[in-house]
Structure 1
């Protein structure tokens, strides 16, 4: 047996540890999430992009309706509502600042509620896995009805010392069929 194989056998597998609710680290992450929601609701997209890592992957796979026996197959990651990077998001933000973003001009009125935030350590010292629930309300034009979008987010955030950055987000939507005409807002 080679030294590499022996080292791999003796290596202890990584076990994530939950970050305690109310701890200083938990509160810092939670505040970053509240700040993110506020920036997006206030249409401060350029500020929001400063929260994003340059190697970001930002996705929303399709939800399928399955029987209870096949519930584990209800998320279809080969089909996405969106699959974006930092560069594509930055391009969308530039477009929103211009005069060709017709899907969001006039802009939607949104409110993002973030809850059930759970944070765990990862194999990298400065990265944390964050799971949260979200509810997005959206109002367009003079319509009397709000569109709702809810789901769970699986994120990876990096601690840069003075701030966090979002390195990965997968938004698992609760709806199999979206209740809004387009998904031109950030989740």
Structure 2
């Protein structure tokens, strides 16, 4: 591993997220899977409304909108590309806006990175799209010299999903 400055590390992470967003928005899901490690953990815990002053997390440790690993992500990609993805006919158009990329910690070949996501989705002829915002807590791991996504914890700002189903990747 080469020694990187903080600025070089930040640029590399932003470049990773720009590439990931492009692949997701262009529906190049097979190529998106190549950005993931074999032991990927991809979670979206439920947000729970808590009283002010509560010391408990706003996110459930037991309930998830989804909790994925490599095999379930591959199965979702395969299903989305099949004739049986009825929720994706016509396909959802997406635009991933990734901002506020913060490298929180570096541990050897792993980077803990927080980033904000604004995801716009539209389908068919609908006049209004759906916008979802979240903070993502990621672990990016250097594998063969390239960053790959090893963990993603998607923390939606919504307590109730503003869409009927989750048929896109965050």
> Could you tell me how far 1:166 is from its partner in structure 2?
0.4
Number of aligned positions between the proteins:
166
Match of 2:42 in 1: 58
Q: Structure 1 length normalisation: TM-score? A: 0.84
Match of 2:152 in 1: 169
> Could you tell me how far 1:138 is from its partner in structure 2?
0.5
- Check if 1:147 corresponds to 2:130: yes
Match of 1:74 in 2: 58
Q: Secondary structure at the match of 1:68?
A: coil
Partners of 2:55 and 2:137 in 1: CA distance: 18
Larger radius of gyration between Structure 1 and Structure 2: 1
> Could you tell me how far 1:161 is from its partner in structure 2?
4.7
More strand by share: 2
Partners of 2:54 and 2:166 in 1: CA distance: 27
Structure 2 residue runs without a partner (length 5+) = none
> Could you tell me how far 1:121 is from its partner in structure 2?
3.1
Match of 1:128 in 2: 111
Q: CA RMSD in A?
A: 1.4
